[in-house]
Each structure stands twice: as structure tokens, then as C-alpha cells.
Structure 1
Amino acid sequence: MNSLFIKNAKLRGQEGLSCILIEDGSISRIGEGIAVDGLETVDAGGNLVVPPFVDPHVHLDAVLSAGDLSRPNKSGTLLEAIDIWGERKPFLTKEILKQNAREVVNWYIANGVLRVRTHADCSDPTLVTVESLVELRDEVRDLIDIQVVAFPQDGIFTKPDGEALLRKALEIGADVVGGAPHIEYTREDGVRDVETVYRLAEEFDRLIDIHIDETGDPHSRFVEVMAKENINRGWQGRAAASHTTAMHNYNNDYAFKLLGILKKADMNMITNPFDNSVLQNRTDGYPRKRGHTRVDELLARGVNVCIGHDSIMDPWYSMGKGNMIAAANLLAHTAHMNGHDQITTLMDMITVRSARTLKIEDTYGLETGKPADLVILDARDDAEAVRLTSECLYVIRRGKIISKTEPAVRTLFVKETPETVDFKLGKR
């Protein structure tokens, strides 16, 4: 197994610098004044050391497909993206799906993301997307931990075999049950969608992650049904509501009541700044709303909220590179979260809060006895990391360095002596 010694590490929320001793792939000691001989040593140089970033919401079956589609998403809307994806599905192969997803896994590793939850479209009778991502999950488990969600992209009840396909996806090996109630044809079927997800989750003993109220329609209120099921079935802490963008447009009196119910239900909420900022509220005209869920109000009520990347170069979002700090930086702007303490919360939302959503707290974090998965950032604190969308100098998996980045060197020739610029505030 792998052993490593890290010195001069800045840990979040702690004064001074620390050492981290890794033995046999696990963290054995953290503190000051640890002395070792003969181990490979990394000098963090006073930079911030964090547990790996977590992406709790991505679609690895669609990544990198923006450039190989028969037509681009000219309107940039959610509905056209769904249509394009539907046109592409008959031409998907396991080779294409795994090749694209594996490339993005490499991007994730370079960006310090070692925990991922991916949705796999299970609306197609072949279930090739589910099979491909389940296989990929097992093939890359030494590098990155992946959860696969059985996701009925087209809804469960828009087709006669929708529920059977969802069940088969779980039998194949999907880790999480997904749904899409706002896609169903009627309100009644949307409620059935949510109830079916909970019934299957109980039967298969799986976590839940539902695409829900992903619209600007203030009448889309399926998250209340989800919260009720969570409470009545005792599923607290085991379910995530993804997107909930309609909440942005809810009547404030209703929203205030809903927030309390979500807290009682111990729901996990996932906001996706990249997609939500460009896909939602497209029909507003002006003034135009921001199109994401009520992040600040949810946090203020004690609800767990985390950040997902969602799409990476696909019909829904043609940009992105798997950088979770960039997602946090965007949310700082679109959710009015640029206050001092809120920057710290943003970092929590791509680390510990996301880990809570994935229910992996027992094996995640910088604590003795836990797997030695960690990232050394090119930043001294949370604020600098978010401001600069900092590079990951080192990415370490079970005590082994699996990625190393040399930051850009910018040299100015404006004085007699050349000088470098790194956008930091000097040595501290």
C-alpha cells in the first residue's frame, strides 16, 4: 500500500500549518511536529489541503456529445436539448459512451474530483447507458468513486415500459433510484412518479435522487410530494432533490412553508449553477429571474444544499470541464453568496455537504483512519481558492499521487527586472 508524508499543510478552519502522515493508503496522523524518515514527502508550502471535491450531479452518458451531434442546440433551451438527446440515443454504443465518460473521469481527477454521482438515462429499452456507466464505475474504482443513478429521462409513465426499465436498471446495478415527475404528462402521473421511486428504493434498499421541478413554472410543486414521502417512509437523509428551479418562482408564503417541510424531511438539495443559469427562465423577458433554487433561504433554514456540475459539453450545456470550484464561483455570483462566511459555505457545498448527500461521510474527510484521498490547492484559503478557481497542485488517491499540476507562470517585462504575476496578495 501507499505511504506519503505531507508537510506545511493549511487545513480549513485551523490556524498554523500541519503535517499529514499517510500509511498503507490511510491517514494515520494529522498534527504539528510529526517527524518521519524515508517516506516520500510533499511540501504543501502553506497551501490549502482539502478532501477531494465531490460532484453529486452529472450525466456521464451525455458528456462530450455536443461536438458529435447531428445538429446543435440553436435555442439553448432545455426542451430542445431533450429533443436532440432523443434523436441521438438510437446511435449510442457502449464504446462511445465509455470512451467519452472515461475522458471526463480524467478531467475530474485533474480537477481534484474523486467522488461523483452520475445519472444514466434508463428510458431507452437497450439500457446501454446504464450498462456502460455501471461497467465504468467498476473499471475506475481504484481512481475515483462513482454512484450511478437510474434516471428515467423521459418520465416513468410517458411510455408503457417505463417502470419496467427503471426496475431493470436497478437490477443491472444502479446505486440510486431517480425520477422526473415534471416530465410526466399530468400532475397525477407526476405524483405517481415520485411514489414509484420511493417504492422501488425501499424494495432495492437504494438512495434516491430525483430531477424535480426543473422548470420555471411556479405551479410545478412535486418536491412537496417528495418531502412528504421522505417523512412518512422514514427516508430522512437518504434522498436528494435535484434542481428544484421552480422554487425560485414560488409564491413567498408557500415557499416559506415548504422550506420548513424540507428541513423536517431532512432533504438534500442539489443546485446546478452551470445548467440552471442558462436553461431556466428563458421565457421571462425582462426583468429576468436567476433561474436556480432558493439556495440562501434553504441554507438559512438548515437544509443541506450542495453543488453539482450537471452537464459537460452536451446538448444541455456546451461548455464545462469538470471543475467544481468554477461551479462554486458561478453560484457566488448568481445566488448572491459573496459574503465572507458564504465563501466558506461554497467550499462546503463542493466537499462535505456533497459527501453528506452521497452518504459517504464514513469514508470521506481529512481524519485519521480514513482513506488518504486529498487535494493540495494553489491557494492559501477558501476565499483565494474560489476567487482564483485554483488549480490542484496535487491530487492524492489512497496515498498515491495521481495528478500533479504546474500552474502557469506569467512574466512581465515592464521593469528592468522581469517579475511574475500570480494574482495573489503576496506571501503571507
Structure 2
Amino acid sequence: MVPSLPEIPTSGPWSVEATVPACLVGLHGLGSDQDGLARIGLSIENGRIAAIGPAGEVPGALTAGMAFPTFVELHTHLDKGHIWPRRRNPDGTFFGALDNVTLDREANWSASDVTARMDFALRCAYAHGTSAIRTHLDSIGKQIGISWPVFTEIREKWADRIELQAVALFSIEHVSDRAHMSEVTAAVRDHDGIMGGVTYMVPELDQNLDTLFRLAADNGLDLDLHVDETQDPASRSLRHIAEAALRHRFAGQVTVGHCCSLARQDGEEIRQTIGKVAEAGIAVVSLPMCNMYLQDRSSGRTPRSRGVTLLHELKAAGVKVSVSSDNTRDPFYAYGDLDALEVFREASRIAHFDHPFGDWPAAITATPASVMGVDAGRLRVGGSADFVLFKARSWTELLSRPQSDRVVVRKGRVIDTTLPDYEELDGVLAE
């Protein structure tokens, strides 16, 4: 029988059969086909997964196509989201984005503005099937005192739907400013956040990395850094970060995003850098859609580079690798809707996650969940019944269409997947 999207009961226990990526199921001995998929039965009781077994073992089970655990976004910018109608990027370049976000932040990012746009973005992510998000927050000047309290309020409001984490975002040069770092550190500590920063090749890079690692260690904070978001092969701050983590014997989790220039370097530099990243236990997150949009862009010239880092090589070395949305509808990326399935679909095409897919589905589920330290991204007995059902039966069906008819199940019950209307933001974005 051809699977369809089932009518799920609104109360009482129920069960469903679906095809799942075997790497995302906590069941020993589960077989899979050549595409890494397995057909299983899930039994749901009291909002949790009561049992998992091979298909055909649960009488009366509903039938679906494929199922994923809810998605996990490791790298986003909720504070920037959806400002494109108000502040465009005229040439689509990285520096055009940087300049226009700065202008918009200084003119418009009040508490009410940031709150409205963050909440809109989270409603999109929730409807698409995401249950955990890490966002970077611009932490410069007056914005520190605006965005961090807003984030804490939003996190409390969304606590039973999306688990949220925040990272302080500022340029590596700001680390030399003691007053700035004191204010940032206090905000991160007071709001249970993560220390961050943007690194590139400046003369004081190693000195400031030492300061940053000491600050994080002294305050019991993890680190999450924007790294080498450029096509310049001479940009090698990733290696410096790995060396600093090893030098300080840093016990916290270090996560790095972008790392675009690694793909432009020579073989020996790549080998040594990846080796140090793996030794230091650093996790890497690539932002394939945003980086393809920004990197190697020049008017009238076809881009030559995809802008993604060496995910296959990093993963082969034992590095935890993830993919994520990054920016949505702002000068850094004019598109996107915090739909993690779109991220995986595009990453599969851009970075060749296919043939075979293997355990690449973990890059948008289980792996970022482990980096964030949240209980999400896997289907396991006793875990919350949080998953997404699709009519699609195979990878080629799943990744060929947007899957707008997906069914999102949270705590064992179907949620409303109606997306918020962009018209809601018209008043917020009015100049």
C-alpha cells in the first residue's frame, strides 16, 4: 500500500510505521537498505516513544512514508532575521551585508523590534519541525543590553516548544577592549549563554584568542566562533583556534562555523589543520546556503567556489560536523525560512551527502544536538515523541519536493504547521 500522511488521534496511545534513517534510531541490530533507511514501527504513549521495532510487529499501526526526529539548528541569527524588506544588500557581497546590517542595527533594533522578528522566526522553525536552535546575538555597544534580555524572555516563552541557546557575537579585535569584554562576559554569564566571536587574520589574533579562552575557562563557558568566512587561502584562523584550544587544554566545547577558506588551502595545510581540529575536539558547522550566496560573488562573473568547508574530510577525521540555516531574509542571505529539511536538501546537493547518504542525516539532527547538549535529534524508547512524518517514501522523493504537507508531532500530538504570514511584519519593518 502506498503510504500517505495519517490521521493521528488527538488522545490515547497510537502507533505508526515509517521509513527512517537508521542512524537516527536508538535500536541495536536495526538493519537498513543501501540508502541507510529502515522501516520501523513506533508506539506512542503519554507523549513519549513507548516502543520501537521492525515494521509489521504492531497491529493497527498507522502508515506513513518517511520519518525524521525533530531538527536541530546549530547556527542561526534570530536577531537579524527578516530585515531584508527594510534593509537590502545591494550587491549581495559579504561586506555589503556587514555594512547594511550595521546600519539597520543602529537605527532599528529596539527590544520590540528584535522580539517581534525573533518570535516570527521561531514560529516558522517550529512549524517546519525544529525543536532546538542556537542563535548568535550581535553583542556590540547598546545592543548588548537590548538583545540579551529579549533573548531570555523569548527563551522562557518558547521553553516547552524549542530549546534555545545564544552566543555573543563580536569581532576578534573587540577582545582587546577590557570594558567591552567585561560587559559581554557579564551578559553571557547572566543569561546562561555561550562566548563567541568572529576570527580572521589580524596581528593580535593569538593574543586575543588566549584572552578569549581564558575568559571562557574562568567563567565556565563554551565557545562558538565564526571562522574564516572568506575565499582567501591565507585566512587560517581555524588552525590558530585549534592550537589555542590545545595550548589551554580547554575543557569546554568549542564550535566553529563557516571555515570556508579551508577548502582553498593546499593539501599539507589542510591535513595539519584538520588533525589539530580533531585533536582539540572542535565541532564544525557549515552554512551551505548562506555561504553559496555570499562567497565568490562578483558582479558579471559566475562563481567558481561553493563556499562550504571540507565536511567529508573533517568527518572522516572524527570531527563532529553539522549543517545549519545561518541567516534568513536579511542582508547576509535574502532567502530561507528556518526549514532544516531545506538545509539538508541543499547540503545534499551542494556538498554531496548522497550515494550513499550513510549517517549524513545526523548533520541536522543528532550531531548538533550532541554539540548543544540537548536531548533531541534521535528516536529512542523513552524519549519524547517528537518527530516529523512525510508522505515521501525514499530520499529521491523526500528531497525532490518541499514537503509542505509534512506532519509535525510534538509530545505525541500533531501541531499546527500553518506558517506565519509575512504581512505580520509589515508594521515592524516600516521605516
Q: TM-score under structure 1 normalisation?
A: 0.83
Contact 1:155-1:162 at 8 Å conserved across structures: no
1:230 aligns to what?
A: 245
1:6 equivalent to 2:23? Answer: no
Contact 2:281 2:319 in 1 (8 A): yes
2:271 pairs, out of 226, 237, 256, with: 256
- How many corresponding residue pairs? 392
Residue 211 to residue 123, structure 1, CA distance change in 2 (3 Å): same
What's 1:426 paired with?
none
Structure-2 change in CA distance of 1:368 and 1:216 (3 Å): same
Are 1:365 and 2:387 an aligned pair?
A: no
| Partner of residue 216, structure 1 | 231
Q: 1:244-290, CA deviations, whole angstroms, 9 ceiling, x for partnerless residues? A: 11112112211111111112122211100111102112369677222
1:88 to 101, 104, 108: 104
CA contact (8 A) 1:344 1:383 kept: no
Which residue is equivalent to 2:66? 48
Report the Cα offset of residue 30 of structure 1: 1.7
| CA displacement, residues 116-154 of structure 1 (integer Å, 9 cap, x when unaligned) | 111111113342122212221111111111111111257
- TM-fit CA distance, 1:57: 0.6
Corresponding position of 2:368:
354
Distance 2:388 2:348 in 1: 22
Q: Supply the distance in 2 between the matched residues of 1:236 and 1:389 (Cα, whole angstroms).
A: 41
Matched, 1:376 2:394: no
More RCO (CA 8 Å, sep 6+): 2
Partners of 1:134 and 1:148 within 8 A in 2: no
Q: Structure 1 residues 251, 112: closer, same or farther in 2, change over 3 A?
A: same
Whether the 8 Å CA contact 1:97–1:129 is kept in 2: the answer is: yes
CA contact (8 A) 1:170 1:177 kept: yes
Counterpart of 1:79, as a letter, is: F
Q: Out of 194-203 and 154-163, give the one that drifted further.
A: 154-163
Q: Distance in 2 between matches of 1:259 and 1:54?
A: 24
SS in 1 for 2:406: strand
Structure 1 residue 338: Cα displacement: 5.3
Is the deviation greater in 124-133 or in 114-123? 124-133
Choose the corresponding residue for 1:390, options 396, 403, 408: 403
Residue 356 of structure 1 deviates from its aligned partner by: 2.2
- Within 5 Å, give how 1:295-374 maps onto structure 2: 295-335=311-351, 337=352, 339-341=354-356, 343-360=357-374, 362=375, 364-374=377-387
Secondary structure of 1:47's aligned partner: strand
Pairing 1:240-255 to 2, within 5 Å after superposition: 240-255=255-270
Is 2:218 aligned against 1:196? no
Output the amino acid matched with 2:19. Answer: K
Judged with a 3 Å threshold, the aligned counterparts in structure 2 of structure 1 residues 392 and 353 are, in CA distance, closer, same or farther, namely farther
Q: Mean alpha-carbon deviation: is it higher for 343-352 or for 83-92?
A: 343-352
CA contact (8 A) 1:122 1:151 kept: yes
Going from structure 1 to structure 2, the CA distance change for 1:65 and 1:173 (only over 3 Å counts) comes to same
Compare 374-383 and 290-299 and name the one that shifted more: 374-383
1:228 corresponds to which letter in structure 2? E
Q: Distance in 2 between matches of 1:79 and 1:158?
A: 23
> What is the distance in 2 between the residues matched to 1:178 and 1:380?
40
Q: 1:238 touches 1:359 (CA, 8 Å); kept in 2? A: no
Unaligned segments of structure 1, at least 5 residues: 37-41, 407-428
Q: CA deviation at 1:171?
A: 2.9
Question: CA offsets, 1:278-309, max 9 Å, x none?
Answer: 21123696772222211222223222211010
> Aligned residue for 2:6?
none
Alignment-mate amino acid for residue 379 of structure 1:
A
1:35 positional shift: 5.9
Question: In the alignment, which residue of structure 2 is the partner of 1:24?
Answer: 46
Identify if the C-alpha distance between structure 1 residues 393 and 218 changes in structure 2 by more than 3 Å, giving closer, same or farther: same
What is the SS of the residue equivalent to 2:19?
strand
Query: Mean alpha-carbon deviation: is it higher for 117-126 or for 158-167?
Result: 158-167
Choose which of 85, 88, 95 in structure 2 pairs with 1:79. Answer: 95
Local SS of the residue matching 1:143: coil
User: Structure 1, residues 328-353: CA drift from partner, whole Å, max 9, x if none?
Assistant: 22223332x15421x34442211112
Distance 1:173 1:4, change over 3 A: farther
The 1:29/1:345 distance shift into structure 2, 3 A limit, reads closer
CA distance in structure 2 between the aligned counterparts of 1:315 and 1:154, rounded to whole angstroms: 21
The SS at the match of 2:165 is strand
107, 129, 140: which one pairs with 2:158?
140
What is the TM-score with the length of structure 2 in the denominator? 0.83
Are 1:129 and 2:147 an aligned pair? yes
1:304–1:163 distance in 2 versus 1, CA, 3 Å? same
Partners in 2 of 1:2 and 1:261 — Cα distance? 52
User: 1:98 maps to what in 2?
Assistant: 115
> Structure 2: which amino acid aligns with 1:52?
T
Deviation (angstroms), 1:25: 2.7
Check 1:197–1:377 CA distance in 2 against 1; reply closer, same or farther (3 A cut): farther
| Cα distance in 2 for residues equivalent to 1:194 and 1:388 | 44
Aligned residues of 2:172 and 2:208 also touching (Cα < 8 A): no
RMSD across aligned C-alpha pairs, in angstroms? 2.7
Post-superposition offset of 1:9: 2.4
2:378 and 2:183 map into 1 onto residues whose CA distance is 36
Q: List per-residue Cα deviations over 1:82-110 (Å, max 9, x = no partner).
A: 11111122221111111111111111112
Q: Indicate if the aligned counterparts of 2:64 and 2:389 stay in contact, CA closer than 8 A.
A: no
8 Å contact kept, 2:73–2:364: yes
- Residues 156 and 162, structure 1, Cα contact 8 Å, conserved in 2: yes
